[in-house]
Chain A
Amino acid sequence: GAVVSQHPSWVICKSGTSVKIECRSLDFQATTMFWYRQFPKQSLMLMATSNEGSKATYEQGVEKDKFLINHASLTLSTLTVTSAHPEDSSFYICSARVDRVDSGNTIYFGEGSWLTVV
């Protein structure tokens, strides 16, 4: 079945540094991918919609200069948390929408990435 790979699963970084998280669709093409953030005991909140070959669309309240999204190919989107601070510590998870017309708008999720900023 379709699989979305997210890497790294866990990352600890120092405050002020940048961290890149990758999201890959392994056996399907995904023009559109999504990035979510989940704080402890809360639900997933959509951060941005990543579109291959064009700029990402950010949700209200999400700083686009802080959370850089690049969707350079039909199978890869990256999220870079720039100048990370402890309050950015969270669970980040991506999803990819299958491009096939007959997919029924199926969306698959990655395993998520735990970011801890110290």
Chain B
Amino acid sequence: KQEVTQIPAALSVPEGENLVLNCSFTDSAIYNLQWFRQDPGKGLTSLLLIQSSQREQTSGRLNASLDKSSGRSTLYIAASQPGDSATYLCAVLSNDYKLSFGAGTTVTVRA
């Protein structure tokens, strides 16, 4: 069974600092890995999707890397802003098409 772990569970930084969020998974047989953002009481917003054959994806201030062999992904958010405050979820799509989620990293960016 796929297990997804996210570290740290919570992170508080001053505005302007770079954020580093970590995700690890136990089974490297995956189709893709996706990073989501979830605001309190809201659904999920997809941020970046990395196919299993890719090493990284970038979108604006966001960059996500994937090392499938070691079962790790990292989400970098450059020059954080208060609007980046949210919970960030990592999810892995396994070969049975099931998504396994991590518990999330709750980020607070202080103005």
Chain A residues near B (Cβ < 8 Å): 6, 32, 34, 36, 42-46, 49, 93, 95, 97, 104-112, 114
**Segment at the A interface, from B11-19, B67-75, B77-85, B96-104:** B96-104
A97 contact set on B, CB distance < 8 A: 97
Closest A residue to B95 by beta carbon equals A105
Cross-chain pairs A/B with CB under 8 angstroms, 14 sampled: A36-B101, A43-B103, A43-B104, A44-B91, A46-B98, A46-B99, A49-B98, A93-B44, A97-B97, A105-B31, A108-B46, A109-B36, A112-B43, A114-B41
Task: Flag B23-54 by CB within 8 Å of A: 1 or 0 each.
Answer: 00000000110101000011110100101000
Closest A residue to B100 by beta carbon equals A46
Closest chain-A Cβ to B3's Cβ sits at a distance in Å of 11
CA distance in complex: A32, B96 (Å): 12
> By DSSP majority rule, is chain B's interface helix, strand, loop, or mixed?
strand
With known contacts A32-B97, A97-B97, A108-B46, A43–B102 Cβ distance under 8 A: yes
CA distance in complex: A106, B93 (Å): 10
CA distance in complex: A36, B38 (Å): 14
Q: When A and B form their complex, what is the total count of cross-chain residue pairs whose Cβ atoms lie within 8 Å?
A: 48
Q: Check if B32 sits within 8 Å of A109, measured CB to CB.
A: no
Please tell me if B64 contacts chain A, counting CB pairs below 8 Å: no
Q: Interface size on B (CB < 8 Å)?
A: 22
Chain B residues near A (Cβ < 8 Å): 31-32, 34, 36, 41-44, 46, 49, 51, 89, 91, 93, 97-104
Closest B residue to A34 by beta carbon equals B99
Q: Check if B103 sits within 8 Å of A42, measured CB to CB.
A: yes
Q: B32: which of A32, A95, A105, A108 is its contact (CB, 8 Å)?
A: A105
A46 contact set on B, CB distance < 8 A: 98-100
Closest A residue to B102 by beta carbon equals A43
B98 contact set on A, CB distance < 8 A: 34, 46, 49
Beyond A104-B49, A104-B51, 15 additional pairs, beta carbon < 8 A: A6-B43, A34-B98, A44-B99, A46-B98, A49-B97, A93-B43, A93-B44, A95-B99, A97-B97, A104-B32, A106-B49, A108-B46, A109-B46, A111-B43, A112-B44
